[in-house]
């Protein structure tokens, strides 16, 4: 399968989400160093989709769950935005926002809630949830170590963050 066809299929699977203000709004906040939450989420979603497809798993749930896994929609450094520990809190906020945005399957909801396991949250209950958990960890490592800049992927896919409002 060529890169163009693969990227096109990924965009088709996630079109409803990528066109939403909520997902594009993730571009307003930094997640790992200079990497925005939108760029990180796209990086995780696209690679989860690719591996799921290769392994003949549910690529639809992996792509959507991956894209929504960090949809917490606040500045993680702003202590007034969330009550407790960001590591434990943010999957619950993301699941709540995702459920307002789209109809989540039970598998997609569990992908979001379990993506921080074993540091917190729910236990992954599907191969796709285990996959997104692992891909998230690898992508975070590549971002923090500056080995890969995921804004390149976002630009290639033609996803535009929502402009900030001041
Ligand atoms: Fe996360
Ligand atoms: Fe993440």
In the chain the domains, ranked by start, together with CATH numbers, are 3-72+81-157 (1.10.3210.10)
The Cβ of residue 139 has, within 10 Å, a number of other Cβ atoms equal to 26
pLDDT at 165: 66
**pLDDT above 90 for 52:** yes
- With beta carbons less than 8 A apart as the criterion, state whether 157 and 11 touch: yes
Ligand 2 centroid from CA 41, angstroms: 6
Prediction pTM value: 0.95
| CA 115 – ligand 2 centroid, Å | 7
Phi-psi bin for 30: left (phi > 0), alpha (psi -120 to 50), beta?
Answer: beta
CA distance 54 to 15: 21
What is the average pLDDT value for the chain, to the nearest integer? 94
- 138 C-alpha vs ligand 2 centroid, how far in Å? 10
């Amino acid at each position: 399968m060529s890169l163009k066809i693969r990227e096109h299929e990924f965009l088709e699977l996630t079109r409803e989400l990528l066109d939403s203000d909520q997902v594009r709004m993730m571009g307003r906040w930094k997640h790992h160093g200079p990497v925005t939450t939108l760029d990180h989420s796209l990086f995780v979603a696209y690679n989860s989709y690719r591996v799921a497809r290769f392994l003949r798993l549910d690529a639809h749930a992996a792509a959507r769950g991956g894209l929504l896994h960090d949809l917490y929609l606040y500045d993680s450094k702003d202590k007034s935005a969330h009550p407790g520990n960001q590591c434990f809190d943010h999957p619950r906020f993301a699941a709540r926002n995702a459920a307002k945005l789209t109809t989540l399957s039970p598998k997609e909801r569990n992908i979001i809630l379990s993506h921080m396991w074993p540091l917190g949250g729910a236990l992954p209950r599907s191969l796709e949830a285990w996959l997104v958990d692992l891909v998230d960890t690898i992508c975070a490592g590549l971002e923090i170590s500056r080995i890969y800049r995921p804004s390149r992927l976002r630009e290639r896919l033609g996803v535009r963050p929502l402009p900030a409002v001041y």
